[in-house]
Structure 1
């Protein structure tokens, strides 16, 4: 199997080049130093995008929206100094890392995103929502979480999706691939 292709989108060239050096042994790496460069570089061959959220010109949020509008089957991890707020609930990323990040953080995230991409859309959506909940849980106080309608809707969506996944897994339990998914899901909880 060929190495996955990772597009690093970071407006600080030194940081983008550092990430690229960290990932070069495990992935095929491309770099873009602006949002517009990212949109020129993104294609169906890119498996994962590591995307800075705050960039001059075209922001990471806008790049993410365009990636999703193009209906590309790529996983996107926001790698940013922007502390997450409840606005992330409606965003189409798959994971969110707050800088500074380590080499092991990036490699672990890439491994997880590659694993998720082998699962069907329903499970990918579940993991995306679970990642958003996890980042908000780690960054917000209990009072902030309880006061947020977006967070309450997120929890409701996760509960509904968990029930749907349980139903799907039960229906498909005779298939080996879904048995592996069940084992993987039980390990993450």
Structure 2
């Protein structure tokens, strides 16, 4: 993952005007690649991409298919679904890092990219925790909290949180006694 100054963001949306707007928002801070359909996105995506912002509903190859192809190709980038599609429990199994419902303003978009770049420096379990928490928040905002999938998601979050807490406790104990040995 690149540092902020040289991070590359891939914007994928079938609305060319929206791609241009988002590019204007981000262009002064990041290298920006754009695509207006899924096939073009996959032709542009490579290991130089740090963050991909994907529209979920596009003609041809949709954002979910692009997401799965990015993951299958093992392109190590953080992915946010940036879409007008309200989330439902179908997002629980999607391998993204964050989910935002359009419209988003400039500060929200920059903040999202900044957070995703920061998360890239986290270990795998911490990244998983934040991805799960993002799904939970999206479902709560959409009022999708009375399903088995939501309950399972909450259980998964607690399991990862517990594992992270145990790891932090162990690291803290090691650090506390490192001078004694």
**Structure 2 residue aligned with 1:121, among 119, 124, 136?**
124
Structure 2: distance between partners of 1:145 and 1:28: 38
**Structure 2 residue aligned with 1:91, among 76, 90, 94?**
94
Aligned pair count reads 171
Structure 1: distance between partners of 2:15 and 2:110: 20
Structure 2: distance between partners of 1:118 and 1:151: 28
Higher relative contact order, structure no. (Cα contacts within 8 Å, ≥ 6 residues apart)? 2
* Residue matched to 1:62: 65
Task: Work out whether 1:145 is the aligned partner of 2:148.
Answer: no
Unaligned runs of 5+ in 1: 176-189
Matched position secondary structure for 1:57:
coil
Structure 2: distance between partners of 1:40 and 1:171: 44
Structure 1: distance between partners of 2:45 and 2:170: 37
Matched position secondary structure for 1:77:
strand
* Residue matched to 2:48: 45
The structure number with the bigger radius of gyration is 2
Unaligned runs of 5+ in 2: 176-181
Structure 2: distance between partners of 1:39 and 1:170: 41
Give the Å deviation of 1:71: 1.4
TM-score (norm 1): 0.88
Structure 2: distance between partners of 1:91 and 1:98: 16
* Runs of 4+ with deviation above 6 angstroms: none
* Alignment RMSD (CA, Å): 1.1
Give the Å deviation of 1:70: 1.1
